Amino acid sequence: MRMRWKLVGLAGLAGVAATGVVLARKRRAQHQYQPDELRERLHRRLAEVAPEQATSEERSSNSVAPARGESFGANPPAERKA
C-alpha cells in the first residue's frame, strides 16, 4: 500500500515538472518587445492596412444606406440632404 502512494506521489511530481517545462518553453517562444519596437511594428502594420482600408471605404461610400429610422421611400439617396 505504501509503495502505491509513493508511485502516485512520484507521478504527480513528474506531472508538475513536465508542466513547468512546457510552460517555460512556451514563454521562451514568445518574444517580448520593447515599447518603442512594439510601437514601430504597430505603425508599420497600420501603414500596410491603411491603403487596403481606403479602397474598401471607397467601395462602401458608393452604396448609401438609410440612416437609422429612415427609409428610401420618400427621399432617394441622390436627393437626401446631409
Residue 6, all three cell numbers: 509513493
Contact 77, 63 (CB under 8 A): no
Distance, C-alpha 40 to centroid of its chain: 18
State yes or no: pLDDT of 75 exceeds 80: no
Q: Where are the domains of the chain?
A: 33-58
Average pLDDT over residues 62-82: 57
1-56 pLDDT tens trace: 788 999 999 999 999 999 988 888 777 656 677 888 889 989 999 998 887 776 66
In whole angstroms, what is the distance from residue 24 CA to residue 47 CA? 34
Contact 13, 20 (CB under 8 A): no
pTM of the model: 0.33
